[in-house]
Amino acid sequence: MPDPAAVRPLLLSWFDRHARALPWRLTRPDGRRDPYRVWISEVLLQQTQVARGLVYFERFLTAFPDVERLAAAPEEAVLKAWEGCGYYARARNLHRAAREMAASGMPTTHQGWLALPGVGPYTAAAVASLAFGERQAVMDGNVRRVLSRLSGVREPTDRWAQQQADVLLDPQRPGDWNEALMDLGATICTPKSPRCAVCPLQTHCAAFASGDPAQYPAPKKRAAVQVTVAVALLIGDGEQAYLEQRTGTLLGGLWGLPLEEVRDVDVAGALNRLQQRLNATEAEWLGVVNHTMTHRQIQLRVYRAQAAKPLTAVGGRPLSRLDHKALALLAAPQPALFAG
């Protein structure tokens, strides 16, 4: 591992000149970040790229500018504001945590944040260091990659990476140090084609010295993608449709087209079960939607049918991207295929 006393001033000096201007980095009079904005942004960016996250962040903060208004909102309104971000358990946990904070106050320590619903070690360390100046080192994919390359370790364990991050953490500027490492990984020390020529830590980097820095760290083994095939019925149109509220952890709380999972490759059987449940007739083929969520891929076969069901304004309910894609089939040439 490089000498902390050598790399800290180099990286912080670079950060002072090149830090990304991001809306969640606005500072208060005391020079620290707003803990509410930091918290929302860190949860949002767990599964969302920064470019898309900027739009979602502004939309969410417009709807809920502080923890009190987030806590007071109904869950459906929170899910609607989160629409498009995916991984909706994050939004439900944000809502639960906001209600706890509204009742008991906002935590000011790492341990206090860890006790909230949906807050793990990374988010707790980020809020504690950025908003409260606590000496907590964050660990995400960008930080892990930078540390792996600095030390020339191809297969860093989680424990090793956290230990390195803890040792390198600048005790005087822990929040800035954490953001500097994340910015370096996001803009310079990228997974492919790292920009070593402009890296402030180049002379201290074992991976650069090896001549092939992109080989660090070794790729993680990914779990096999689980494919789920389902049938959906569109009753109504793209503006007014019959919607059902989903249950379970995957898309729980969201609304969408009624669907039935296909068993034993029997699409006709699934369609028949769905039609019988809804008392629907005249099923007309619309197309196929493919939607990927981390280790799960959903192949949704969409039909349009007639049934005496109450229709709901589509724009007034929180829908997943899967259902938005299904509704978009109405305007697509057939046969239609939307890649997830």
DSSP state of 259: E
Residues for the chain: how many in total? 340
Which CA distances in Å does 5 have to 10, 145, 167, 171, 203? 9, 20, 11, 11, 14
- Tell me, what DSSP letter sits at residue 221? P
Query: Quick one: how far is CA 328 from the chain centroid?
Result: 24
Instruction: Give the residue carrying structure tokens 């929180």.
Output: 318
- Would residue 76 show up in a list of annotated catalytic residues for this protein? no
Beta strands in the chain (DSSP E): 226-234, 240-241, 244-245, 255-256, 259-261, 281-293, 296-306, 312-313, 337-338
Q: 42, 83, 179, 260: which is the annotated catalytic residue?
A: 42
- Give CA–CA dist 180/177, Å, rounded: 5
Residue among 249, 334, 239 nearest 289 (CA): 334
Catalytically annotated residues: 42
